[in-house]
Amino acid sequence: MSLGRAERLPVGGFVLLAFVSLFWGLNWPGMKIALSELPIWWFRVLSVGVGAVGLMAIAWASTGALRPTRRELRPLLICALFNIVGWHLFTGYGVSLMPAGRASIIAFTMPVWAALLGALILGERITVYKVAGLVLGVAALAVLIGPDLVALSAAPAGALFMLGAALSWATGTVLFKKYDWDSPVSALIGWQLLIGLAVILPGALILEPAPDLTALSAKVWIALLYLFALPMIFCQWAFFKVVRMFPAAIASIGTLAVPVIGVYSSALILGEIVGWREVVSMALTCAALTAVMVLPALRRS
């Protein structure tokens, strides 16, 4: 990319990208705080429900188009099962069972799995970048949870839930790319959230007693308001805005900061310990994301 082209990129896009990285990174300690007093299924009912209303409002305000076409219904159902139901439930259990910083590292191995699933589902070419990303991603997981698996000194359930979340998100992303859509992106995301709510709410009613919201502490309410307004609504809209404004390489670089912010904000807010395993795993994850997302785009440009 030439300097002249770089200078023409809108400054507002870089500001949005910085806020997306910051707010998505702070999402992880916020989730940990919320889950300290809310049951997992009801926490996800609240977050998915508020996110759906917010994104549908954005879609209505920006395009006025909300209703999906008949041929979009089946793909929406399939994508929602992976992007919303799988991701939100797996991350809920994962964050409740392990440090939030570690959870964010595993979650953001997603693009590596998406690149590999793209080869299987979409017939995309397997490149040396994708193979390198896979090796680095597996190495990151091995550093982070390998000793626990070998020594059985700690149940790795939380890490396995987070790996399931990353794989579910990756599958939903690839399937979303596979189908042709007529509706605007904000409406499609809103509909997926509504479909996810229709699945998660009955599960919450069956599996868990409804929480007493009046009994929640002030810190949980602050965490919920943050999670609803910024990661669930603003970041969803802002990221797709950035994708439209910038080349893929620049938009992808922004995601590299999320697990870094997730780890260190969890250490600052929750007092989680950042040891050498977290640092090495975080570096390997960032290297994997660079290999899969950034280097190929830079080479094309």
Residues 47-92: tens digit of each pLDDT: 999 999 999 998 888 877 788 888 999 999 999 999 999 999 999 9
What whole-number percentage of the chain has pLDDT above 90?
A: 40
Q: Select the more confidently predicted residue: 51 or 142.
A: 51
Torsion of CA 185, 189, 195, 197, to 10 degrees: -160
User: Domain containing 187: what range?
Assistant: 3-300
Indicate whether 213 pLDDT > 50.
Answer: yes
pLDDT tens figures, 15-41: 888 898 899 999 999 999 999 999 999
User: How far apart are the C-alpha atoms of 68 and 165, rounded to whole Å?
Assistant: 26
Q: How confident is the model at residue 265 (pLDDT cuts 50, 70, 90)?
A: very high
The whole-model pTM stands at 0.84
Among residues 146, 44, 152, the alpha carbon closest in space to that of 90 is found at 44
Q: What's the mean per-residue pLDDT of the chain?
A: 85
User: How far apart are the C-alpha atoms of 189 and 195, rounded to whole Å?
Assistant: 10
Alpha helices in the chain (DSSP H): 3-7, 11-35, 40-62, 73-80, 87-97, 100-107, 110-121, 128-151, 157-178, 185-207, 218-227, 235-245, 248-270, 276-289, 295-300
Ranking 8-17, 180-189, 212-221 by mean pLDDT, the lowest is 8-17
pLDDT tens figures, 160-181: 899 999 999 889 888 888 888 8
Tell me the chain's radius of gyration from C-alpha atoms.
Answer: 19
Q: How confident is the model at residue 204 (pLDDT cuts 50, 70, 90)?
A: very high
Indicate whether 6 pLDDT > 50.
Answer: no
User: How far apart are the C-alpha atoms of 292 and 296, rounded to whole Å?
Assistant: 7
For the chain, the domain total comes to: 1
